[in-house]
């Protein structure tokens, strides 16, 4: 699901009527200018958590920061601009913007203070294909997590609810 800019700019007596797709990864929290793939009109938008907070507002004479990934013209059959058309759409690079490429948060305790195994690397383990099954000998395999758990227990930071 993504937002769109339906360009209605007058172009030779007819509206541009091009739909510029704002793919969610890149525009979810974004402020900047984007061009219409057809007529090149620059629009300012400010999107917060996927919600169009400001815009789209025309910014004549300004340069766009980026382009839509894809655009089409619903009143014109299947006419469209696929990704990577020079000066109209940007290439598809299979990745979100650099700012959103984070590192995984290695959580060793749940919000209730119980040890969890959603971190890596897991210690060399036992069981079928190292799966450990339902048995996690935490004291033996992950002594530092066990120690942390004991400290949390002592401080009363472990809850059931």
What residues make contact with Zn ion under the rule CB under 5 A? Answer: 7, 9, 16, 18, 36, 38-39, 41
Smallest gap from Cβ 89 to Zn ion, in A, equals 13
Smallest gap from Cβ 71 to Zn ion, in A, equals 9
Q: Cβ closer to Zn ion: 7 or 145?
A: 7
Distance CA 111, CA 161 (A): 9
Smallest gap from Cβ 8 to Zn ion, in A, equals 8
Distance CA 58, CA 47 (A): 15
Q: Cβ closer to Zn ion: 26 or 37?
A: 37
For 99, the token pair is: 């700012």
Smallest gap from Cβ 70 to Zn ion, in A, equals 14
Q: Cβ closer to Zn ion: 18 or 67?
A: 18
What b/e string do you get for 18-51 counting C-beta neighbours within 10 Å, with b at 16 or more?
bbbbbbeebbbebeebbbbbbbebbbbbebeeee
Q: Cβ closer to Zn ion: 68 or 136?
A: 68
List Cβ neighbours of 99 (8 Å cut-off, separation of 6 or more): none
């Amino acid at each position: 699901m993504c937002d769109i800019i339906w360009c209605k700019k007058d172009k030779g007596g007819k509206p541009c009527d091009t739909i510029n797709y704002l793919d969610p990864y890149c525009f979810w929290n974004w402020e900047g200018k984007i061009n219409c793939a057809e007529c090149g009109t620059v629009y300012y938008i400010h999107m917060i958590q996927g919600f169009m907070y400001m815009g789209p507002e025309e910014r004549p004479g300004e340069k766009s920061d980026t382009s839509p990934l894809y655009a089409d013209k619903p009143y014109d059959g299947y006419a469209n601009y696929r990704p990577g058309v020079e000066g109209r759409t940007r290439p598809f690079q299979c990745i979100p913007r650099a700012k959103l490429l984070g590192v995984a948060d290695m959580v060793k305790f749940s919000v209730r203070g119980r040890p969890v195994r959603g971190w890596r690397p897991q210690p060399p383990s036992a069981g079928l294909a190292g799966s450990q099954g339902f048995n996690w000998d935490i004291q033996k395999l992950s002594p530092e997590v066990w120690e942390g758990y004991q400290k949390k227990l002592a401080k009363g930071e472990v809850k059931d609810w």
